[in-house]
Structures are given as structure tokens and as C-alpha cells.
Amino acid sequence: EAKKRGRDRFSYFTSELQQRAQVRLRLLSELHAALRKDQFEVYYQPIVDMATLKIVKAEALLRWRHPALGMVSPAEFIPLAEETGLIVDIGEWVFDTVLQQAAIWRRLYDPEFQVSINKSPVQFLSARYDYKRWPEDLARMGISGAAMVVEITESLLLDANDIVREQLQAFHAAGIQVALDDFGTGYSSLTYLKKFDIDYIKIDQAFVRTLPVNASDMAVCEAIVAMAHKLGILVVAEGIETGEQLALLQKIGCDFGQGYHFAKPMPANGLTAIFEKAPGEPSNFADAAGVAW
Ligand code: C2E
Ligand code: MG
Ligand code: MG
Ligand code: MG
């Protein structure tokens, strides 16, 4: 009996593994055409100023609307896009899309509004990638680089070479700001913060999730904020899901917040609807967004 159960379990696992491998293969083969077939969409997740709870920024998060599989998570397809190098073309599409949208929001609702874009090391290091393009596009379209923040990961800085340094400098020269994403999960070396011109640190949601029960995560968040501020770096907390987490992060002086407590990632028109909600003051507040999403 036990043996039979074991065998069933084994076949269950193999079939699940096989299924996952099949899905992966399928995604891999269809990813190539997804851009051409217009299956990508950019969602935007509001980022609030912790002092006012006003929405002052948003993070652009890529979505793949697969005709048969529905919404595919970026956690699933971004790694495939990186392996195949497709991320370079996809990333340029994201940039074009976000740039136009950010320009509209800045013109209509908030001249200071910023949208941040995730950019993986593969995009930085690809030989096919011309890093002057972003600054040139901004200039051609007459959009300030301050409309943009580029989110990078520590792993990029870990094997940073002159190319990476040049690119980050070119971004800064164009007014584009730089955020260090998922901070605390990687090496979190202080040398990077000194060596590179970093504008924001994003505290990873792993440290936010367990607040306030986990005292050591509380201490980590507090230390990150204190250190960042000493270096002139602003701090964004990711993954805020409760009012209690919000209150604690406000108390330790965290500058910006992002998470389901305020709003989930949404299509561009969702954020536009928030801006439009109450014309004039106060329109785009996170508590208003909270009830809608
Ligand atoms: P990330 O840059 O760290 O983005 C934050 C992730 O946390 C997003 O997942 C977001 O939906 C999720 N999130 C935000 N608030 C909460 C919360 O309160 N609770 C929970 N549980 N999750 C929250 P998403 O959209 O699935 O993206 C996953 C990752 O995929 C991103 O992590 C980023 O590394 C990558 N990614 C997404 N879009 C792009 C893109 O356009 N280019 C590149 N290169 N990578 C991207
Ligand atoms: Mg990010
Ligand atoms: Mg992150
Ligand atoms: Mg991440």
C-alpha cells in the first residue's frame, strides 16, 4: 500500500514536472512572436510619498497576455526573455511605451510624475544594445529624463565594468535617475552605494512582509533608511500590504512606499482614472486608490 502511494506520488511529481517543462517550452517558442503579435502590456503600480500618501511615481511592470494561457507572470517569462536575448527588444518596446505614457501623465496631471522601468543586466551588457538610445529618444521627443527612473539590481553592479558605468553616467547626464531594486536580498555591499551614483534604494518586500512581528527585519529596514539618508539616497519600501507596515515605515522615515495596501499594478487607464477621480485638489491620493483596487 505504502509502495503504491509512493509510486503514485512519484508519477504525480513527474507529470507535474513534465507539465512545467512543456509550458516552459511553449512559452519559449511563443515569446518570439509575442512582441509582433502585440501581446505585451505595461501595467503601472503607484508609488506614494510616505508623508502625504500622494501618488508621485509608478513602477512599470510588464505583462504578457497570452491568447490561450491568459496573463503570464513576468517571473515566468522574463528569465526566458533574458536567456534568449529577447529581453533587449522587449525592453526597448517597454521604454517606448512608458516614455509616451509618462509624458502624457506629466503634461495632464503632474509635471513631476516619474515612472520607473526595470532593466536587467542582460539589457545592459548586450552587445546589440545601444545605450545612447534612451537619452536620444528623450531629447528627440522633448521629454525630460527626470520623467524616468531605471531600476537595476545589485548583480549588475557586482560584475560592473566600464560599459555599465558609462551607461549609468549617460543616464544621469540625461536626468534619468537610478534605483537599486530588491535591496537586501543580494550582496548589499556598501561599496556599490559609494562607487555608483544611486538615487533610490528599494527595500525588498522580504523585509517588509514580516513587519512588525519580526524585530530583526524592523532593525534592517531602520538601518537601511539611516544609511541611505546619510549617503543622500532616498528609500522606497516595496510590498507594503497593511496599514501597520505603512505606519512603521513612516515612523522610521522611509521616503516612498509601494504595495497592495495602496494599489496593485494596473493598466495605464486605471492610473489615469485615479488622476481624474477628483479634478483639482486632492485628486491622486493613495487612499482613494485603495478602495478602487
Ligand atoms: P520587481 O521589480 O521587484 O517588481 C515588484 C514586484 O512585486 C511586482 O511583481 C509587483 O507586482 C509585486 N508587488 C508589488 N506590491 C506587492 C505587494 O504588496 N505584495 C506582493 N506579494 N507583491 C507585490 P511582478 O509584476 O510579477 O514582476 C516581477 C518581476 O519581474 C519584477 O520584480 C522585475 O524584476 C521583473 N520585471 C517586470 N517587468 C519588467 C520589465 O519590463 N523588464 C524587466 N527587465 N524586468 C521586469
Ligand atoms: Mg522593480
Ligand atoms: Mg523589487
Ligand atoms: Mg524583483
Instruction: For the chain, list residues with pLDDT below 70.
Output: 1-13, 160, 188, 278-293
Which of 73, 97, 118, 123, when mutated, tests ligand 1's pocket best, judged by the most ligand atoms within 8 Å of its CB? 118
- Ligand 1 lining (C-beta closer than 6 Å): 45, 61-62, 73-75, 78, 87, 91, 94, 118-120, 151, 181-182, 205, 238-241, 258-260, 265
Q: What is the pLDDT of residue 281?
A: 43
Instruction: Return the ligand 1 atom nearest residue 82 CA.
Output: 44
Q: What is the pLDDT of residue 15?
A: 82
Q: What is the pLDDT of residue 222?
A: 94
Q: What is the pLDDT of residue 4?
A: 59
Whether the CB-CB separation of 27 and 76 falls below 8 Å is answered with yes
Q: Supply the DSSP string of 226-237, one letter for each residue.
A: HHHHHTT-EEEE
Please give the Cα distance from 2 to 120 (Å, whole number). Answer: 47
Q: What is the pLDDT of residue 192?
A: 79
Q: What is the pTM of this model?
A: 0.91
- Helix (H) or strand (E) segment spanning residue 157: helix 154-158
DSSP 285: B
Helices (H), 37-176: 74-84, 87-108, 121-125, 133-141, 154-158, 162-173
Long-range contacts of range 23-26, CB-CB < 8 Å, 24 or more positions apart? Answer: 23/69, 24/80
Q: What is the pLDDT of residue 244?
A: 93
Please give the Cα distance from 272 to 101 (Å, whole number). Answer: 10
Q: What is the pLDDT of residue 288?
A: 47
Q: Which amino acid is at 281?
A: E
Please give the Cα distance from 42 to 268 (Å, whole number). Answer: 7
Q: In the structure grid, which three cell numbers stand for residue 13, read together?
A: 511529481
